[in-house]
A and B are shown apart, each in its own frame.
Chain A
Amino acid sequence: MIGIIRSLGRWGLDTFERLGRGHLFLVQMLAGIPGLFLRFSLVIQQLFSVGVLSVMIIAVSGLFVGMVLSLQGYYVLVDFGAEESLGVMVSLSLVRELGPVVSALLFAGRAGSALTAEVGLMKSTEQLSGMEMMAVDPIRRVIAPRFLAGFISMPLLAAIFSAVGIIGAFIVGHGLLGVDDGAFWSQMQVKTDWYDDILNGVIKSVVFGFVVTWIALYEGYDALPTSEGVGRATTRTVVHSAFAILGLDFVLTALMFGED
């Protein structure tokens, strides 16, 4: 019994210590961001590897999610003779929910895991230590540009996801199921509100981008410098990011749309 309490206590202390280190890391990382505007080329390199290289998976997934959404939505709506509302249904689900959430999950899997593995390997091969000894702060030189790149990329990727998804939905809805294209687009335009829907979706994707990139970089930076440690850190990045995204999505949704 004592043993259980003791291990529970140790687990609690370890967790809080990790949380504390994670927040200190965040502060140091944010402190490194202003300096980046003098050397924006560092960020541009990372925008390419974090953002541009993720476009393919985001676009393809968006297309299929939109197509499936269109098919499923049509079969429900047609029973009520409301198939013209397909455009609204698709655009609201994508812009409000699926765009930010699914693209953040994909982003965690594609870019987040890559960031953790890269930073973790730099740590285990003493590259970060080497930089410190060359009087180059690795948090400013390596971590901060990656963070800023992730933070900028994520909302853009979510926007691409939603846009491609809507195109996919249109292809299936109009091309395959014969929904009137005028009704599809005009209802979407009328019913999708700039502030309530799009801006809230953008806020979500900004929050997810912040959290996922933070988790990924911290896990890499805090990884045990062994191959096993880096492997575990990469797994943790994906798992923790997924939890954080879904949990935060609930909180944000409740805050944004709770009163409607």
Chain B
Amino acid sequence: MPLIKIRDLHFYRGDRAIFEGVNIDIHRGKITAIMGPSGTGKTTLLRLIGGQLHPHQGTIEVDGQDVHKLSHRKLYELRKRMGMLFQSGALLTDISVFDNVAFPLREHTDLPESMIRDLVLMKLQAVGLRCARDLMPSELSGGMARRVALARAVTLDPMMIMYDEPFTGQDPISMGTLVNLIHRMNEAMGLTSIVVSHDVEEATEIADYVYLLSGGKVIEQGSPVELKRSTSQWVQQFMQGLPDGPVPFHYPGVDFKEDMLNPEVLP
């Protein structure tokens, strides 16, 4: 049985449809990549899974529980077992790296301070930032902030982690570090990972399974190898990053020649 089961998901923002009948299965212990062009609602999907947004139709089940039918308390119980890595890191800016990683432990457990220290240092060691524990979030680079956020996301030993665009805006070194970390964390901790991304190369490198979203639907799904062999022109355009194809370079509208020679707009 998959850990996350999304069935017939519909979601609208105003009149604009973000999802129209999306079905996705996320399997336990695997890294699943959700890819698609900007603005296809990949982040929205994570927020729907986390219960921060409500779908207009359809269901999302996490570990057998329908997320949007849970009571406030049950939802918060479930969230303790879900980690999420935000694009910005979402670290609390008024406390240090150490306190950020300790935050979930202090909020949810009554562990003594000495044990919290041990746990936090272990998590920080895993992301290579044990000695940066006294820094404030404003003193971290973007890549370091994400690593701290990753350490914080796993402090409660969740069953799954959702990564929101983990590779965006990273230099090659921290990109490599993050790719490596996500892969290693998944193996070592027996996690289930969902990676939302549009960095084709990095995402396909670590993903076991890929869903391609566009226009509110799942366009293609399969292992990275299968997707690269896909005969769909759209998939090929996305995977190879071609500037023109089924997704046009030009925003749709009237013909260029007609537009230039249109006398109506002349003063």
Contacts and interface: CB of A to CB of B under 8 A. Distances in A.
B80 A130 contact: no
A132 B90 contact: no
A130 B76 contact: no
Contacts of B76: 135, 137
A135 B90 contact: no
Interface in A153-198: none
A135 B86 contact: no
A135 B108 contact: yes
Contacts, number: 53
Measured as residues with beta carbon below 8 angstroms from the partner, the interface class of chain B is 20 to 34
Contacts of B86: 126, 129-130, 133
Nearest to A126: B90
A253 interface: no
A interface secondary structure, majority = helix
B90 A125 contact: yes
Interface of B is mostly: mixed
A1 interface: no
A132 B90 CA distance: 11
A137 B50 CA distance: 14
B92 interface: yes
B104 interface: yes
Contacts of A129: 47, 52, 86, 90
B134 interface: no
B84 interface: yes
Given A133-B82, A134-B79, A135-B79, A141 B107 contact: yes
Contacts of A135: 76-77, 79-80, 104, 107-108
Interface in B1-53: 47, 50, 52
B231 interface: no
Interface string B66-88: 00000000001101101110111
A136 interface: yes
B253 to A, nearest CB: 26
Contacts of A130: 84, 86, 90-92, 149
B250 to A, nearest CB: 28
Contacts of B262: none
Given A126-B90, A129-B52, 6 more contacts: A125-B88, A132-B50, A133-B83, A134-B103, A135-B79, A135-B80
26 contacts: A122-B93, A125-B88, A125-B90, A125-B93, A126-B88, A127-B90, A127-B91, A127-B93, A129-B86, A130-B90, A132-B52, A133-B50, A133-B79, A133-B83, A133-B86, A134-B80, A134-B103, A134-B104, A134-B156, A135-B79, A135-B104, A135-B107, A136-B104, A136-B108, A137-B76, A141-B107
